[in-house]
Amino acid sequence: MHLSLKLLRTSTFRLAAVYLIVFAVSVGAILAYVAWNTIGILEQQTDDTISAEVEAFAEQYRLRGLEGALDTVRRRSAQEEDGVYLFASPVGRRLAGNLLSLPAQAKGEAGWIEFPYAADGPRGVERHTAKAFHTELQGGFRIVVGRDVEERREFARIIRRTLFWALGLTVVLGVSGGLLMSRNFLRRIDQISATSRAIMRGDFAERMPLKGTGDELDRLSTGLNEMLDQIERLMKGMREVSSNVAHDLRTPLTRLRVRVEDALRTNDKRQYRAALDQTLAEADQLLNTFNALLSIARAEAGEAGEGFASVNLAALVTDIAELYEPTIEDAGGTLEVSAHGDVPVHADRQLLAQALTNLLDNALKYGRPAPNDPVTIKVVCSASDGKAMVEVCDSGPGVAVRDRQRVTERFVRLDESRSEPGSGLGLSLVSSVVKLHGGDIELLDNEPGLKVRLVLPIEDGAG
């Protein structure tokens, strides 16, 4: 009951029902018109034929007298299969024709009658209905001229029956088809809503069912599934971040706490000072981590904020390189920059600059061939095929192929000894900034060293 009620309420069923009513009414109207017209024309033709024959008989009688009329009636009786003829004497005795006696209905002077009679059929004598015109001729002779209308009656009955069945079938098929369609539709909608409830309950691996026909429900499900995938990715990211944050912030916080506790146990002013200095440094490091996380979160939220404008990537690269060059040279390294012309990108200058400084920071930290060797860094900015490209290459040990994917994740540090200070968020920020700008980050082999390649789309409407 519940299901059928639900079925009746579905929009598909309602649509089917309305359509069915319209269809049934049209079919009924067309059939009725055709039947009425056909039957009417046939009846008219019969009546015309009968009238013509009656005229002809009367004419024969007038011209050729009784014998001529009887002769014609006999001939017609033999010729016309459906014909019903009777030529009777004034007392009603049959003189000629295939009708045995004057029908009881043939009263009065003249008129149309319908009467049953016994006809010779293929299976012996059958009772048929005839339609006839009877009239009295001069001298009191009577003629009855008619046609067997049994067949036509049958035809009309068949047409009526057909009409009835056609309508009945249309309604039955329409209703059941509508129900079937709605049930099918309803089942899939129910599946989708059941899935969504399962997902709401926390089963995030669940996905909307697909039939594979590419119909509108499949398209809807595909869209929903894509949305769910994205949500799952984001949630997974969030979960990872929170657990990583918990881990990576707890460690320095514990260290900080131990140090303060330690210092409180002593009475030495110098130790206080040292502890406070270290605590301050630790707090700054924590804040850096925190800021990096916030920057990543902001970039990943995908907000193209107010900071977005047209930026000449080549100029920005030159600018950042100029900022870093003295530091790299002071460390005995060399920085080679190749960035010319106008490479316009639609970007947040601050975020992009931060990404580039992160790459240079990394190159400076990890780009040495051996711990005390000077670092060689090369920065190249170029444009081709609607893509802007920045490559930051160093001369260090590079990143093993298996680590290249992992290293852009948050808090991943390949430097297991953690001899260099850092949060493990640098490349992660670069990656999310590049993605925010609709670009890609690739880690390649610089042979030797690491080559980080950022590819960004060139701003529309510019070279």
425 within 8 A of 291, measured Cβ to Cβ = no
For residues 227 and 304, which CB has a smaller minimum distance to another protein in the complex? 304
Q: Is 334 a binder of another protein (CB under 8 A)?
A: no
Between 330 and 447, name the residue whose CB sits nearer to another protein: 330
List the beta strands (DSSP E) in 409-449.
440-445
Q: Which lies closer to another protein via its Cβ, residue 46 or residue 288? A: 288
Residue 327 makes contact with another protein by CB under 8 A: yes
Cis before 448? omega within 30: yes
User: Which residue in the set 324, 392, 408, 459 belongs to the binding site for another protein (CB under 8 A)?
Assistant: 324
339: left (phi over 0), alpha (psi -120 to 50) or beta: beta
* Binder of another protein out of 358, 428, 431, 446 (CB under 8 A): 358
Under rule CB under 8 A, residue 289 binds another protein: no
Is residue 47 exposed (0-12), middle (13-18) or buried (19+ Cβ within 10 Å)? middle
Of 109-117, 334-342, 361-369, 378-386, the window that binds another protein (rule: CB under 8 A) is 361-369
Is 96 or 241 the residue whose CB approaches another protein more closely?
241
By CB under 8 A, residue 253 contacts another protein: no
Name which of 222 and 288 has its Cβ closer to another protein.
288
Total of chain residues touching another protein, rule CB under 8 A: 29
- Binder of another protein out of 12, 295, 312, 395 (CB under 8 A): 295
Q: What does the per-residue mask of binding to another protein show for 392-431, with x meaning CB under 8 A?
A: ------------------------------x---x-----
Rounded Cα gap, residues 374 and 331, in angstroms: 7
The string of DSSP codes covering 295-332 is HHHHHHTT---TTEEEEEHHHHHHHHHHHHHHHHHHTT
* CA nearest neighbour of 450 among 401, 375, 402, 395: 395
Q: What are phi and psi of 105, to 5 degrees?
A: -75, -20
* Minimum CB–partner distance for residue 350 and another protein (Å): 5
218 binds another protein (CB under 8 A): no
List of E strands, 122-223: 124-136, 142-148
Rule CB under 8 A: say whether 294 interacts with another protein. yes
Residue 181 CB: number of other CB atoms within 10 A?
16
Closest to another protein by CB, 47 or 361: 361
What SS3 state is found at 66? helix
Does 305 sit near another protein (CB under 8 A)?
A: yes
Among 118, 287, 414, 462, binds another protein (CB under 8 A): 287
Q: Which of 19, 22, 36, 17 is nearest to 163 (CA)?
A: 36
- Give kind and range of the element (H or E) at residue 240: helix 216-265
Cβ-count burial 330-359 (b if 16+ within 10 Å, e if not): eeebebebebeeebbbbbbbebbbbbbebb
Return the range that interacts with another protein (CB under 8 A); candidates 20-28, 149-157, 316-324, 384-392: 316-324
Task: Report the residue number, 200 or 287, with the smaller CB distance to another protein.
Answer: 287
Q: Tell which residue, 389, 379, 386, has the closest CA to residue 323.
A: 379
The reply to whether 330 sits near another protein by the rule CB under 8 A is yes
Does position 306 interact with another protein (CB under 8 A)? The reply is yes
Binding site for another protein (CB under 8 A): 287-288, 291, 294-295, 298, 305-307, 319, 322-324, 326-327, 330, 348, 350-351, 353-354, 357-358, 360-361, 364-365, 422, 426
